[in-house]
Amino acid sequence: MTSRDAPRPGRRVPTQARSRARYDRILEAAAEEFAARGVDASTVDDIAARAGTSVGSVYQFFPNKQALYGAIASRYLARARELFEHWFSVAMAPEGPPWEALVDLTVDAFAALDRDGPAFRAIWGNLPHAAQALGEAYAINREIAARVALLLERHAPTLHPARRDLVATTVVETMTALLFVAARAEDPPFSDAMVAEAKVLLKRYLAPYARGAEAPRDPGTPTA
């Protein structure tokens, strides 16, 4: 999909407070509809009714349901980026938390992002519509992995730079996958347990590097 073909988030993002509040209500209503019924089964009429506005108001901001979906995804991914930037600044502070505590804080924060509100299920429960969102999410993961590599430089200074990049990518993609499973789980205790296991897995994986040791690797793993 080219940038010209990609669905746009909407016709315009309002700046006036009253219009912005209506825009936000429409997005929230669309997320709830898409999470509950799916994009294809939802209607603009239902979204407008849930938002307490008119169908014309929906079309004022969004030309179609795909544009609504795109705006929901863009907002969710922007929040994910902002969330990581916050924790990265905390971690890089002169008196930042120990790396084990940082793992706990970061996993909990991203788990809460997935659970708070309907956006996660609206996006990832409608994968046929998610081509652009998946590309954006992958790009954000690459950005986050580059920052995690900087954290590894602080907490695992003996790690070779090439190995550091590999470890950073492994951490980010593993956390993403496990939290995806946790957020999709219908059973809250299982979801909580999966989040806890994600912390255990990441800390045990990172511990040898933090102690200055190279973990065993496959002969094909790059080190330089």
Task: Encode pLDDT of 154-180 as tens digits.
Answer: 999 999 999 999 999 999 999 999 999
Give the mean model confidence (pLDDT) for residues 36-42. Answer: 97
Burial class (CB in 10 A: 0-12, 13-18, 19+), 171: buried
Give the mean model confidence (pLDDT) for residues 86-98. Answer: 90
Angle, helices 131-155/188-210, rounded to nearest 10 degrees: 40
Domain boundaries, the chain: 72-210
Task: Encode pLDDT of 109-152 as tens digits.
Answer: 999 999 988 999 999 999 999 999 999 999 999 999 999 999 99
**C-alpha distances in Å from residue 47, one per residue of 30, 51, 54, 186:** 5, 6, 9, 24
Give the mean model confidence (pLDDT) for residues 12-24. Answer: 81
- CATH fold for the domain made of 72-210: Tetracycline Repressor; domain 2 (1.10.357)
Residues 217, 160: Cα–Cα separation, whole Å? 13
Residues 81, 70: Cα–Cα separation, whole Å? 16
